[in-house]
Structure 1
């Protein structure tokens, strides 16, 4: 407030109002008049009419010849009054001095106001106080200073008629610059010309008197009261500043008489020791100012009143720092500007501010029990998120703070009683709004808030009736008395307390820094609702709804904003430890939600039997970073809540965790994790987990993403623990692309009695790099399936997709099902469906439009790429699953393999492959099915392949039995089969079991050729390979131990045209010590053996017993080169040699012999036993001897007869079969010499003859298809 001094000429209140009127706003209006005579108010505390009248006005002699005079009967303002004249004039100051000064009831006393006098200074030097029971005024515009150190009483009929300012004080002196005008030491006074001041209170002493007012005091400019104690009732008004300054200030009203303190500018109440305001008995009571309002004390201000300020409202300590406010009833603060309070304690507090609000600590102890509209507010408010809040400070303990409220929503101060002045009534003028009291923001800043009573409410909003020109934030700092924040602690309140809610509603930001926002207790827990049009930011904060050990429901935490940031260890949690349900956490942001090193949870803990709530996040992007945890959980019968994330754009988890768990040993279910977004990244140790104990089910993980999902060094899992009876949850991912990288895993498992969940992936492309997909069971429940549906490609690179029955698992393994455009399993990647216990392993089923490729090994060379389904435990009876592949092309390359097998009592599964194009198995790769331990009793199973082309190059198909059970068959239905460079197709027995059969139908023939140049290196690295494999390209059924070799059947469908065995290519059915297997070959065209080609059913290869197997060949032609040592052998060592039965039109270049030679042989010998037999059934030409046969025109095709060609016959004289050999592709000439007879010539071995260009035929020969050909003998 401005003090009198060296100032420009003063303006009247009216002049000031007119000056600012262009900036005014049409809200509460006021009429200021010269008197308040029309007010008839009474005081219950002081009965003025009972007091005896004192001597009236007695001037003293301290001013000498310039003493004061009293003129009675003067006419002032058309009425009789006493006029005080005289005095000592010094420039604009006029000094008066009295020994006594009193104004009786009905008396009118005025100070004369010479024209150039601006300040009238009046003192009382006697020992008595002053009683002002009538009218005291100034006959002019001068300011009036009145000093009586003995005390002053304004009676209930007291009226001021002062156009200027009125300063009344019980100080000992009035300050005049460096001098004083003293009432206790008049001789020391200095009658100076400087402007006086009483507003510092520096001359108050313990002996200073009090000021008591029960009247209606008004000054058109400033009104100031300074005393040791101010005891105030009634009304007082100042056109400018109203200042109440004392050691102790006491303000009261009654139900019939309001207390009204009004200032046209600043209103200041200062009680150095105490300010005690209790003025809520009348609805019009209150302190009102058009400017700032300040309550100031060294101790907390007792402020039970309504406050209305056209400027700012502050509670201060004496040094100007913020101070505290206490109110056992219910204060209501309305201000066009800001509100600043260091601390508040008391009943419900309502603050409606046009600007910002700052409170250090607010403690709400109880609701107000007063009257509606007098002591508290009741209103329905709708928040930004359309939440409807019932504000009722009488029904519930309430902290109600509304900032940035538009002026017209603040209401009008109830100043109608101030319109009854006797004279000089002014025109109605609006509340002055100047640049100094226009608010600059709509912020709310809170340190601590504590609710210590039941059914509490915290409402912080700058969205209520907003001034749209302002923006503002809400800041919770935790820097108050408790260093906590906002909490509802009903342990201090009633045991049956109900709901406590906290609402934060901001047009801009809400920030909570190192602070607590909590609702807690032992009844129903209230909600925490935070809305912001800007950013909601938590730093090191705790936001919690907690309920302990009693009946009641938990509260929700709802946050809605443009963006939300939860940072630096912030804990947002809803929890309960009783039978009620836990509240949820819901966060909605138009832009980003960011969690960094934070915790968000909804938990039913300890003794809690209720359900935990959901965590729901909705935003454009969601980022969960740096050890953040999103958790829902339950420990007893209740179900865990879901975690639901819906993002329009990206969701990122980085070194963070989402979990929904049921830790209960009863029937609580785990909740689901559901994520919907444009893209999802789960990175750097992040985990998505749904778990269950007891009989509850684990929740599912459901990811639905429009673009890409990436798991990197992270995991997603759904697990059932212990002996739980609940089911595992599914992991379902739908995305355009899915990447699972660098130690990332998706896992669905159970150790309980129910099934694990499935992993289901729907995508365009799936890339799994150094990562894995796993379903497993170690209990009675089945492992889940892995189902992959990819429109384009699936790549597993150094990775694993597995479904396992683990130790102690009685349940079955799940299937691995892949449907895709293409599949690549490379660099040691695996598809595994295994069992280690009683449960059966699952199947692997692949259906791919394009190419399936298995290729390579792990970086250390230990693990080859492939697909396996096996029985791994030698003491359990689970069966292995099948591998079923349907594709366009299949490639198994460079150390890769497809395998089913059994180490235990159960049987291995089948391998079934169907392709529309070729199969290439190359480079130490293979397909196998095997029973693998002597102690096991499981059977191997079949390999079935249907394809247009099968190529094995340095690779193998293997059906192997190592125990007493039969091995599986290998069944190939092909267009063409090529076994090259040491390729192998083997059905073998290394135990006592019978090796499986090998069945081949190839409509375009079979080629077996070449040796593996790397075989010696492979055997050096793994010597066991030599027991099964060899360096040659082989079709084989064999027994290397006590088991019987299987059979080889080729061409049973009658569609296989030829077999070409070249460069040590072999078809063998051999045994080491048992009977050799049988070989059945049926061809449409040709069996060709070159360069040590071999067909063998030899027994006793270990120089032991066993009969040689039989070889049955039905082929039009069998051709070998005599000196290339190609053999057909059914030999034995100790046993009987087998039988060789050949039906052919011609057998060329190979002949039966008693034993093998360096030539091409057909043998059925036994080294120590009885030889077998060789039976050749070839073409019979007897029908052509000495006969003439009519030939069909098409019987001889001249294009098949070439110049310089000849006819080669078999080696025996009695069984002759012929084929045409030749070169140059030249047909025989039509002029060849005709034959005169039809005899056939003796068949001889082909002899080398010099090449000639043309030779004439010398005989007629019949071919295998019955055609007769003119030719010459070779």
Structure 2
């Protein structure tokens, strides 16, 4: 249960419960003390405030002036519906500083007015409620806060909890708010916005804001700030045309106020120790649209936008700019739509003029976007759309669609005119896109789509289709549906999984060029499975997308003419299975892109595919650099094909081993054009008869299939030879010295003997001499005929190895048939004959 829902239940209980219940009355600002029709000074200032009531107008005079600051202090301050609190200040006053020292909350449901361009600060630590009729008529900025005190540059504090200190004679503008340990809550109630989409496309049409002047609003270029404990906008509307809107839910700490030259203030939350929660519901709105560079800053612990609540900036001038900044230290949730599904909850910027639309920056621990929620930047004119940046230290989840309007949840941007869409940058530890959830950038005009950059430390998972609209898959997608080019997509992660019909794509449906896709996964990439509509896929393509009738009704050409982008994947392990595919292609007249994969291991299983195909343009190329193995199993395929007159693409594969099993194929085919070429370099290629490697053309010239072993660079093993000659006498044994020794050396096979006058050594024979001992110790046994035959053979063997008296051989004799026999030579007798005369050794 969200804070706003919990609070609503308490409010309903109060309507039907007597005020004597201390348990109910103890919640936050729901006090038992009267809260309506009271503006009562407390006489804590040297010059007290004076309140004059004239019908429904409460005129406030007096107060203590210090330079251009005017201080008021009240025991209670509330403005009922239909009444007015009028600060009758001198026009030279720049800041009206008002505090409430009593125990009542301030319930504002009427009009607060002041003279000139003074800023108004309303400080009540007990709490602030702005009802649906609350209005502001002031020339400067408005600060509503439940902080304890306002802090000035010289260290003096204008405190609502310790009001004894008197204002100094001269103080400058306040520089900060000091929030106590138990700040009250701030609630803004209202009927909610009446925004409508300006076109039939709910997601991509600009918002029509209308002309209704409701809710809390300050003059153009000023600041409207609500700083306190928990903050809820329940249908409430806060507006600063071209100015600054600040919502800060602070538990403890300090908030800095920084005056801007253009007017208003910028707030800094670096001094905040802990945050409270912020909730926008029931079509609540924070709006800084206008001709200036409007900005909105929201800072809290848990921040939620639900029920069609929207944070909006529409740039309406040539200079544009500004930003929406959201800091949620724990969790940011964006969920749902308004009752008819026409306005999606979320953060949205747009430009309707030549100026750039505002940027969107989200900083949080966890981000959840679901039920059609969006974080979205758009341009409807010549100005560029703003950049969308999301930093979530732990996780991001984008899932589902609206059950009312079937619009999918989205983080992204688009252009519908000459301006370019903004870039989208995502950084987190874990990213999950489920059931239609999308991160994307699209061009519907002459402008180019933005680039998508996604950095995820641990893993990315994309899975499934939208529950209400099964035509929408979970995706990371850049696309163009006009003459503008789609942006490029870069994904950096450890593990990437794309399954159940999800996809990572870049596409063109008209004349623009689709973007390129680069995926760097330090551990693995897996693409698997299909949905009822399409396979899981990573690819760049030119798509028909619509039927010819639909394309004609939309004013689109019969076929896309834009070229497809390239796809590059770098990972140790790539698996494509169960009908999934990694592809480049074009269903129109444009070129297919190139598919390049670098991996240690690639596995295609159960109809997994690598494809580069065109309907009539030139076929794309496939290049695989595989360090270890490439396996294709169960009708998987690698295909580069071209239809019509286009030439087939080329397939180049370099791997240690390639295995094709169970009907798998590698092909580079064409119809009328030339077949592509297939080049395979592998140490081992294994394929069964039912598999094939082909490069053909039905009507044109067949391509070439070339299979080679990879060239092995052996230069690294070569040893540089010395330039100095080697003395051979140090490398060859001295024959005379050896001949004088009475010894015999037997060596194994191969190699040269140490004495160059000796013959090469034949195999040495080893015989087990224990056979004779076994025969002597074994008793006689009756043997079968077969055993007798074996025993006879064994006896023959034994007879050849009966132990004899051993005499050491001192020479050898070679006979005419080449037989060599070891002999004992008499002293001084030359044995054996040589083709090389033995050298004569001196005595």
TM-score range for the pair, normalised by the shorter chain length: 0.5 to 0.7
Q: Distance in 1 between matches of 2:593 and 2:677?
A: 16
2:300 counterpart of 1:763: yes
Deviation at 1:684, TM superposition (A): 3.5
Aligned counterpart, 1:1211: none
Deviation at 1:1133, TM superposition (A): 0.6
SS class of match (1:834): strand
Deviation at 1:891, TM superposition (A): 0.6
Deviation at 1:1064, TM superposition (A): 1.5
Superposed, 1:639-788 pairs within 5 Å as 640=140, 642-647=142-147, 677-685=183-191, 689-693=216-220, 698-705=221-228, 707-720=229-242, 735-750=275-290, 752=291, 754-757=292-295, 759-770=296-307, 771-788=309-326
Aligned CA distance change for structure 1 residues 689 and 729 (closer, same or farther; 3 Å) = farther
Q: Distance in 2 between matches of 1:1179 and 1:570?
A: 89
2:670 counterpart of 1:1162: no
Q: Distance in 2 between matches of 1:545 and 1:800?
A: 40
Deviation at 1:546, TM superposition (A): 9.6
TM-score, scaled relative to structure 1: 0.41
Deviation at 1:995, TM superposition (A): 0.9
2:425 counterpart of 1:884: yes
Q: Distance in 1 between matches of 2:422 and 2:264?
A: 22
Superposed, 1:1130-1149 pairs within 5 Å as 1130-1149=668-687
Aligned counterpart, 1:995: 564
Task: Please point out which of 107, 122, 131 is paired with 1:595.
Answer: 107
Aligned CA distance change for structure 1 residues 614 and 941 (closer, same or farther; 3 Å) = closer
Superposed, 1:166-565 pairs within 5 Å as 384-388=43-47, 503=50, 517=53, 541-544=56-59, 558=72, 560-561=74-75, 563-565=76-78
Q: Distance in 1 between matches of 2:120 and 2:265?
A: 17
What count of residue pairs does the alignment treat as equivalent? 564
Greater RCO (Cα-Cα under 8 Å, separation 6 or more): 2
Task: Please point out which of 366, 375, 379 is paired with 1:831.
Answer: 375
Question: Can you give the 5+ residue segments of structure 2 that lack an aligned partner in the other structure?
Answer: 1-40, 150-173, 193-213, 244-260, 337-343, 466-472, 530-534, 544-559, 713-748, 752-843
Deviation at 1:727, TM superposition (A): 7.5
Deviation at 1:780, TM superposition (A): 1.3
Deviation at 1:641, TM superposition (A): 5.3
Aligned CA distance change for structure 1 residues 555 and 1126 (closer, same or farther; 3 Å) = closer
Aligned CA distance change for structure 1 residues 891 and 597 (closer, same or farther; 3 Å) = closer
Q: Deviations over 1:1034-1069 (max 9, x none)?
A: 101001111100000000xxxx12211122211101
Deviation at 1:1166, TM superposition (A): 0.6
2:68·2:93 contact (CA, 8 Å) conserved in 1? yes
Task: Please point out which of 1037, 1040, 1044 is paired with 2:591.
Answer: 1044
Deviation at 1:615, TM superposition (A): 5.3
Aligned CA distance change for structure 1 residues 618 and 1120 (closer, same or farther; 3 Å) = same
2:43·2:73 contact (CA, 8 Å) conserved in 1? no
Aligned CA distance change for structure 1 residues 1129 and 691 (closer, same or farther; 3 Å) = farther
Q: Deviations over 1:996-1047 (max 9, x none)?
A: 11101111x111111xxxxxxxxxxxxxxxxxxxxx4110100111110000
1:1079·1:1097 contact (CA, 8 Å) conserved in 2? yes
2:327 counterpart of 1:789: yes
Aligned CA distance change for structure 1 residues 1189 and 1075 (closer, same or farther; 3 Å) = farther
Aligned counterpart, 2:783: none
Deviation at 1:976, TM superposition (A): 0.7
Aligned counterpart, 1:932: 480
Aligned counterpart, 2:796: none
Deviation at 1:732, TM superposition (A): 7.8
Deviation at 1:585, TM superposition (A): 8.1
Q: Distance in 1 between matches of 2:627 and 2:664?
A: 21
Task: Please point out which of 504, 507, 519 is paired with 1:957.
Answer: 504
Aligned counterpart, 2:627: 1084
Aligned CA distance change for structure 1 residues 690 and 780 (closer, same or farther; 3 Å) = farther
SS class of match (1:1057): strand
Question: Can you give the 5+ residue segments of structure 1 that lack an aligned partner in the other structure?
Answer: 1-381, 390-501, 505-515, 519-539, 548-552, 605-609, 635-639, 650-670, 1011-1031, 1152-1158, 1182-1187, 1191-1274
Task: Please point out which of 898, 901, 925 is paired with 2:439.
Answer: 898
1:921·1:956 contact (CA, 8 Å) conserved in 2? yes
Q: Distance in 2 between matches of 1:988 and 1:731?
A: 46
Q: Distance in 1 between matches of 2:378 and 2:231?
A: 28
Q: Distance in 2 between matches of 1:643 and 1:541?
A: 24
SS class of match (1:387): coil
Deviation at 1:823, TM superposition (A): 1.3
Deviation at 1:919, TM superposition (A): 0.6
Q: Deviations over 1:911-932 (max 9, x none)?
A: 1111111110010334444442
Deviation at 1:793, TM superposition (A): 1.9
Q: Distance in 1 between matches of 2:69 and 2:235?
A: 36
Aligned CA distance change for structure 1 residues 784 and 383 (closer, same or farther; 3 Å) = closer
Q: Deviations over 1:809-861 (max 9, x none)?
A: 11112222222221111121111111111111122222222111111111225
1:545·1:555 contact (CA, 8 Å) conserved in 2? no
Q: Deviations over 1:153-185 (max 9, x none)?
A: xxxxxxxxxxxxxxxxxxxxxxxxxxxxxxxxx
2:549 counterpart of 1:1009: no
SS class of match (1:916): strand
1:554·1:574 contact (CA, 8 Å) conserved in 2? no
Q: Distance in 1 between matches of 2:120 and 2:240?
A: 18
Q: Deviations over 1:447-466 (max 9, x none)?
A: xxxxxxxxxxxxxxxxxxxx
Q: Distance in 2 between matches of 1:1171 and 1:383?
A: 98
Aligned counterpart, 1:806: 351
2:87 counterpart of 1:574: yes
Q: Distance in 2 between matches of 1:681 and 1:517?
A: 27
Q: Distance in 2 between matches of 1:1189 and 1:902?
A: 75
TM-score, scaled relative to structure 2: 0.61
Q: Distance in 2 between matches of 1:1180 and 1:623?
A: 79
Q: Distance in 2 between matches of 1:845 and 1:555?
A: 40
Aligned counterpart, 1:821: 365
Task: Please point out which of 503, 514, 522 is paired with 1:967.
Answer: 514
Deviation at 1:748, TM superposition (A): 1.9
Aligned counterpart, 1:550: none
Deviation at 1:939, TM superposition (A): 1.6
Aligned counterpart, 1:1060: 603
1:819·1:848 contact (CA, 8 Å) conserved in 2? yes
Q: Distance in 2 between matches of 1:742 and 1:675?
A: 31
Aligned counterpart, 1:343: none
SS class of match (1:1085): strand
1:673·1:690 contact (CA, 8 Å) conserved in 2? no
Aligned counterpart, 1:1096: 639
Deviation at 1:956, TM superposition (A): 0.6
1:915·1:946 contact (CA, 8 Å) conserved in 2? yes
Aligned CA distance change for structure 1 residues 966 and 1060 (closer, same or farther; 3 Å) = same
Task: Please point out which of 646, 650, 654 is paired with 1:1114.
Answer: 654
Aligned CA distance change for structure 1 residues 848 and 565 (closer, same or farther; 3 Å) = closer
Q: Deviations over 1:377-397 (max 9, x none)?
A: xxxxx99324359xxxxxxxx
1:818·1:846 contact (CA, 8 Å) conserved in 2? yes
1:728·1:755 contact (CA, 8 Å) conserved in 2? no
2:612 counterpart of 1:1075: no
Aligned CA distance change for structure 1 residues 814 and 1189 (closer, same or farther; 3 Å) = farther
Aligned counterpart, 2:252: none
2:372·2:401 contact (CA, 8 Å) conserved in 1? yes
2:457 counterpart of 1:916: yes
Deviation at 1:729, TM superposition (A): 7.0
Q: Distance in 1 between matches of 2:264 and 2:474?
A: 36
Aligned counterpart, 1:863: 407
